[in-house]
């Protein structure tokens, strides 16, 4: 079992690269953003609770996110490993994930940081808006907000995971397959 976290700003390619890893290695993908969007689409109470945060580019409160991840981990007890994509995004979430995995006797093996300059993120998100249907991709102000929230709340997790000696930095610029090859090398798979 290989469990790892994909850290990286919005538009860094975490979702794209996760899809390739899932196809090749059978990981289970836990993308909190995807889960919130699915809940929103189905009109569930959780989706409605998250809507305002997603629309404005702010983070959904930690306790809501952590509760959701707890349920998803329970639902898939046996598998090849988890990709945590877009989670954790705060120190509180990172500590909660450590505690949760420890309580289940599961390791967090590694944390990959996909590094992409802000100017390229803006271009990618604006381009993605044409097909994603995501209102948070279509609005430049919301894009800026998400990049800022990432820098303030999530980027400090690199220290948290460096101290645990789990962090690998992967340049996220270049051809998709080239980046994928770097990720496989970083994960030794």
Q: C-alpha distances in angstroms, 162 versus 110, 112, 158, 166, 182?
A: 10, 11, 6, 6, 19
68: tokens are 């959701």
Give the footprint of ligand AMP on this chain (CB under 6 A): 10, 32-33, 36, 53-54, 57-60, 65, 86-87, 89, 93, 136, 146
Least CB distance to ligand AMP at residue 185 (A): 24
Point out the catalytic residue in the list 20, 51, 122, 134: 134
20 is a catalytic site residue? no
| Contact partners, residue 122, CB within 8 Å, separation at least 6 | 11, 140, 143, 147
Summarize the chain as % helix, strand, coil (round to 5). Answer: 60, 10, 25
Least CB distance to ligand AMP at residue 90 (A): 7
Closer residue to ligand AMP, CB minimum distance, 75 or 105: 75
Least CB distance to ligand AMP at residue 153 (A): 9
Active site residues: 14, 89, 128, 134, 146
């Amino acid at each position: 079992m290989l469990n790892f976290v994909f850290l990286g700003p919005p538009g860094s390619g975490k979702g794209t690269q996760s899809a390739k890893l899932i196809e090749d290695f059978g990981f289970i993908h836990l993308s909190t953003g995807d889960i919130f969007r699915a809940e929103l689409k189905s009109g569930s109470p959780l989706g409605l609770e998250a809507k305002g945060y997603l629309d404005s580019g702010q983070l959904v409160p930690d306790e809501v996110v952590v509760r959701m991840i707890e349920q998803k981990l329970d639902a898939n007890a046996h598998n090849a490993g988890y990709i945590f994509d877009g989670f954790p995004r705060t120190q509180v979430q990172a500590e909660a994930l450590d505690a949760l995995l420890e309580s289940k006797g599961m390791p967090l093996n590694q944390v990959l940081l996909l590094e992409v300059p802000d100017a390229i993120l803006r271009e990618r998100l604006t381009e993605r808006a044409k097909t994603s249907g995501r209102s948070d991709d279509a609005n430049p102000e919301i894009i800026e907000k998400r990049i800022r929230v990432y820098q303030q709340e999530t980027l400090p997790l690199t220290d948290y995971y460096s101290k645990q000696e789990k962090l690998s930095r992967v340049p996220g610029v270049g051809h998709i397959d080239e980046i994928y090859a770097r990720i496989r090398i970083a994960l030794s798979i």
